Structure 1
């Protein structure tokens, strides 16, 4: 991966008249033609429309000046383009309007050239939607690029584009960033609302942003996309000034940093993931930071159960709407087994259950607030291991059979099925969900390669509203040469 050729590198070429937007778009499509057959990252392109925009749009006074970008085919609608969410129920759906988030992407000076793949409704940490096929990791195509923003990660890591939008409801930016050697920031809840009408995004757990090659691209993207929208239920005050300019100033903070190697759900953490963190700890100490082993006092298993309760209830609400539009009940044949099982579990969740689950999120947020009184940042593995093989099944055939018949089972059995169907995959990615539920910003940084050459990231988490702290420490590690 050529990190020097990030989005701002191409912005520089445009400003110096060494390239035109049309040339960059044409080159991006050439790279897609070359790389996508092997990666299966891009599921739709808008070649003629994008080239027309490149020739006719005015990119003066924009931050990125006509750089091509791919957007995620999940909750990031562009009027007149497909919006499938990786689902067979939506395989023919075309977005009637552009989301506020994509409007902001376009105002920043990007040209949307197509869409990247996602698992059905973004429910998995791998990308294998039946309607689009399996996405593959550019570092080793026998492995997954992760999910749910796996297509976006594969597109950037393979060089199709320098930057791609993504979203993160349980790690879906940070997991693929870890697996493909990218910078993956999940902003604070409410920092980059999508809208209109879909602001809540899994009750604030899900947020849209981007996958990048460099910290400076991440900083500039945050400057472009941070906003306060009056209609949004979750709002974060705007960062005064510019994240990008603050990075350029060279001023650095003397952070107090905690680190933990313990899985929040008591699963096994690989020696490679531990090594990635400990190497980062050693580098930080050498740079003069105070680093101490400390794990937040949060019951990660209870918190994940609360997360799945939200997933189930929100899936029930979503699919209930689809059924109403279709004028018929939905069946297991309408969707993939994970979606069907979440749907059946969600149908058993009461309003009281849902409220209690969200209450656990708030308790965890309060615990983390107290934790940050003593530690500015928390360092952990982003993922407990490197990218899984694409042909690995995370559910046994016996479990899949129970999932198919989950509509016939008791509420307790449906809940148990949801835990079981995610249990092994959660063991690979147990660290990311907490920040989604507490609302905190977190970032994955590409600091390690395994013995077989697969990327593996580390994650920093900061207090709410403190993305500038994450960009600060990320820039320090990037400048110190730790990015691989």
Structure 2
């Protein structure tokens, strides 16, 4: 198989060829590695590459699961893999290898995914851009290399946009799947809290904000991947919501009635929303209305946004301190000022000085957001919002060279519609329906009730049918190819 053929097909199409014996795992892996060495290197999307491992896995692969033996990329988020090192974008953890595979990685393997590299992230996955010092430079947006690919799954979204793999692992604690999906013009779903496992080493991330999932070029690939990874594991702290027998089968059906969708075009605190982002929402409304659904302009839920951002800052800072100190207890003292970027070093110090009451109040605020949003959605099936408040930011615009509070407050003005849904635990998707006049992808966000991934995926598939995006290629696609 040639790379020109490989890069045009989604994961299910490649898996179908593999299961039919028309292409072998080694051919697929050779295509992925060739594109990784070319396009991935050009935009700095990959880290901890082990191409020899990829070739070995492909040579020994037996077709299994839905995806057979499909090349895959794990995010450098610390998701435990005994085969691929992870540094979480930090010089402190560079080259760290796990002794036990995570439950999620085991499920990826069982479904036919062959991981041969990690994708780049900002330090500790705490930024809406991907510009970690550990990566040797920023991860570039394939649509405009002067701009960010988003974060924290920035390398994953860029790799999918450039055709290196059709599906990649991502995680989302404050928009980290949806931000880069919007910036890079791919599809990204944040699952409901508890649907995808965190174990066995931990039960949650960032006080319940963080969840894992995938980014893909087609909705059906995400649906099929979710079929393989969703479901409770023993002892997890959150119950997994009910789900259909198959998300992939469900998206092919039709709704038995029009959906009622609330539309948000204003942000809390009167934060500016760029015209391009409002144009994306307007385009989505036209498509949804043409599909027979009802879109209604609706007021924002009464959220105290500044206090909510402060709660996120407190929980993130505590997480930094806990993570770094746990590592230091294992390996000994580290010269943290020389190894942590300024914002993260400040977060570490904030966490060390934080009172237990402050952390507990932050968790309570998250819980109040969950009640607020679920109550709000009693009157609607979904919410439609811009994914971001402006187009992909320029490199360096949201920088770790700042104190942590200022850094995160700036991030909160860019990702205003996103972290709220991490606190609520509801599912949300960034759908690549719109491109600006300067040819930048601008995503729209769809938010569902808790456990309503099936509804989100079916509606996203309907939108993909009337406004397909999978064949849109960034300029860097051709130049890097």
Bigger mean CA deviation after superposition, 344-353 or 329-338: 329-338
Q: Deviations over 1:247-306 (max 9, x none)?
A: 123456521100101223532110000111012112222222111111222222221111
Equivalent position to 1:471, from 457, 467, 477: 457
Partner in structure 2 of residue 236 of structure 1: 240
Residues 1:297 and 2:302 are matched in the alignment? yes
Partner in structure 1 of residue 207 of structure 2: 203
CA distance in 2, matches of 1:130, 1:142: 17
Residues 1:57 and 2:77 are matched in the alignment? no
Structure 1 contact 443–460 (Cα < 8 Å) conserved = yes
CA distance in 2, matches of 1:258, 1:80: 45
1:205-284 matches, within 5 Å, as: 205-251=209-255, 253-284=257-288
The alpha-carbon deviation at position 386 of structure 1 amounts to 1.4
CA distance in 1, matches of 2:326, 2:167: 33
Partner in structure 1 of residue 370 of structure 2: 365
Bigger mean CA deviation after superposition, 331-340 or 81-90: 331-340
CA distance in 1, matches of 2:17, 2:147: 34
Residues 1:123 and 2:123 are matched in the alignment? no
Equivalent position to 1:15, from 19, 26, 34: 19
Q: Deviations over 1:12-40 (max 9, x none)?
A: 21122221111000111111122122111
The alpha-carbon deviation at position 329 of structure 1 amounts to 6.4
Structure 1 contact 394–424 (Cα < 8 Å) conserved = no
Partner in structure 1 of residue 441 of structure 2: 455
Distance 1:29 1:139, change over 3 A: same
Three-state SS of the structure 1 residue aligned to 2:295 is strand
Bigger mean CA deviation after superposition, 250-259 or 129-138: 250-259
1:72-221 matches, within 5 Å, as: 72-132=75-135, 133-221=137-225
The alpha-carbon deviation at position 318 of structure 1 amounts to 1.3
CA distance in 1, matches of 2:43, 2:229: 28
Structure 1 contact 215–475 (Cα < 8 Å) conserved = yes
Residues 1:339 and 2:344 are matched in the alignment? yes
CA distance in 1, matches of 2:7, 2:291: 23
CA distance in 1, matches of 2:254, 2:118: 36
Partner in structure 1 of residue 475 of structure 2: none
The alpha-carbon deviation at position 334 of structure 1 amounts to 2.4
Q: Deviations over 1:96-141 (max 9, x none)?
A: 2211111110001111111111111101111111111211111122
Equivalent position to 2:317, from 298, 312, 335: 312
CA distance in 2, matches of 1:391, 1:306: 25
Three-state SS of the structure 2 residue aligned to 1:353 is helix
The alpha-carbon deviation at position 4 of structure 1 amounts to 5.5
Q: List alignment gaps of at least 5 residues for structure 2.
A: 473-481
Q: Deviations over 1:421-451 (max 9, x none)?
A: 2233332221110111111110000011111
TM-score w.r.t. length of structure 1: 0.92
Partner in structure 2 of residue 48 of structure 1: 52
CA distance in 1, matches of 2:245, 2:420: 29
Three-state SS of the structure 1 residue aligned to 2:141 is coil
Structure 2 contact 7–164 (Cα < 8 Å) conserved = no
Q: Deviations over 1:71-96 (max 9, x none)?
A: 11112221042111111011132222
CA distance in 1, matches of 2:8, 2:440: 20
Residues 1:445 and 2:468 are matched in the alignment? no
Q: Deviations over 1:202-257 (max 9, x none)?
A: 12111111100011011101101101112211221341310101112345652110
**Cα root mean square deviation, aligned:** 1.8
Structure 1 contact 3–213 (Cα < 8 Å) conserved = no
TM-score w.r.t. length of structure 2: 0.92
Q: Deviations over 1:326-367 (max 9, x none)?
A: 433653222111211111111222111111111111111111
Bigger mean CA deviation after superposition, 325-334 or 309-318: 325-334
Structure 1 contact 260–380 (Cα < 8 Å) conserved = yes
CA distance in 1, matches of 2:355, 2:43: 42
